[in-house]
Chains A and B, each alone.
Chain A
Amino acid sequence: MTDAADVEALLGRERIPAAELRNAIAAGQRGGGEGFVQKVRGALERRFASLEKPPPSLSEQALTAWKQGRGYRLEELLVGLMALEGLRPEPAYRTRSEQIDALFELRGRHFLLEAKWTSDAQSVSALYELWCKVDGKLAGTLGVFVSMNGFSEDAAKSLTVGKTVRVILVDGTDVRSAFSGEVQWAELIDLKCRMAAQRGIVYYSWKQKKDLENA
């Protein structure tokens, strides 16, 4: 049986083995250990928090490597979060022509995930790349683009001009809300799909929803 300590040990590794993490979380949930979900959620939150600031006194070269690596760690942690919510995530995989950062399912719909943690906002070309990946998949599949430093205004708008909406956007504020437990990942994706369906809005943050509710 897997317990929360086993999951925490996987999360403590420098490179998190995403498939192993997913399987360990699934096994732990079947085992029904007391407080398993809460403990794993806490461990995911702590590991995510460790990515927010680089370790002190890294050389310039090491800092660059650390920054490159945290994009992968983000992908792996998102797989953990989605596994915890029973969204059947598939960690990063390659096809002949493309790399998919993760796949998950929600209410029978499949989502391809792209995750970036770069210093700049994502541009039109990056979003269009995901749009094209989604375009070649089963009808009804959607893309979720996660960018910790957000998206340019033009990039977001470009997803809706003259095209079917196939990609929804998640930024750092949303990701932080999800890892802090303020919102479940599934609830966040549901909200975004609803806004995209209702009004063609491809970026609508959890914060905006809460602020408008309280207005």
Chain B
Amino acid sequence: MPEQAERIAFVVEGDADKAVVESLAKRIWQTPPERVHTVRLGGRAAVPWLWATVLTLLDEKHYNHVVVLLDADTADGEKAADRVEELKAELLKHRITDDSVSIFLAVPELEAWLLAATEENPEVPGAKQRLRAALPEATSPDELARLASKLNLREARRRSPSLNTFLSALESLHR
């Protein structure tokens, strides 16, 4: 990871992820980096070609660092960690190293991070359904961004290890 990244790109799956990530990043970075941009892959089917997206951002668009955030789709922390290593290995085949890209998985999915406001143990299966049941309006990106902007980060980080890992990395990336 570079000491101070000034051009940071996020790569996420869809609109909801973009909304939440941008909202959280605003809260973590008191002084924002010179340029922050989010690329939506569109769907899970794009993941095998993540390397192409990352290379475009680094080589053609000149970002110093790319932060990838995907859903783990498992509540098993070990499986999620293995998946991160697989994704890193795939990027390494294209000579993309840890210096220029960080990969994170929301366990089991991004909605669990928002549930960390109210649930003691949000990283269990079914986070998406539980969030919808608790807050039916929480399907629009604007609403998800609003929830992320009001999340009690201290409590949420304590309850959701994957959120804590992600936010700690953002803190190290840019102060």
B43 touches A199 (CB 8 A): no
Determine the residue in chain B with the shortest Cβ distance to A214. Answer: B37
CB of A150 within 8 A of chain B? yes
B49 touches A211 (CB 8 A): no
CB of B61 within 8 A of chain A? yes
A212 touches B48 (CB 8 A): no
Determine the residue in chain B with the shortest Cβ distance to A199. Answer: B52
Interface size class of chain A, counting residues whose CB lies under 8 Å from the partner chain: 20 to 34
Size of the chain B interface, CB-CB below 8 angstroms? 21
Residues of A within 8 A of B44 (CB): 121, 150-153
CB of A205 within 8 A of chain B? yes
Alpha-carbon distance between A202 and B45 when the two chains are bound, in angstroms? 9
B63 touches A205 (CB 8 A): no
- Given A173-B14, A215-B9: A208 and B37 within 8 A (CB)? no
B39 touches A152 (CB 8 A): no
B43 touches A203 (CB 8 A): yes
Interface Cβ pair total, 8 Å cutoff: 77
Shortest 10 CB-CB contacts between residues of A and residues of B? A205-B42, A156-B45, A203-B45, A151-B45, A150-B43, A211-B39, A157-B48, A215-B61, A171-B43, A201-B49
27 contacting pairs across A/B (C-beta < 8 A) = A121-B44, A151-B45, A152-B44, A156-B48, A157-B48, A169-B45, A171-B42, A171-B45, A172-B43, A173-B43, A199-B52, A201-B52, A203-B46, A204-B49, A205-B42, A207-B41, A208-B39, A208-B40, A208-B41, A211-B37, A212-B56, A212-B61, A215-B37, A215-B39, A215-B57, A215-B61, A215-B63
With A121-B45, A203-B46, A205-B40 already in contact, 20 other A-B pairs whose C-beta atoms are closer than 8 Å? A121-B44, A150-B43, A150-B44, A151-B44, A155-B45, A156-B45, A157-B48, A169-B45, A171-B45, A199-B52, A201-B49, A203-B45, A203-B49, A205-B42, A207-B40, A207-B42, A208-B40, A208-B41, A208-B53, A211-B37
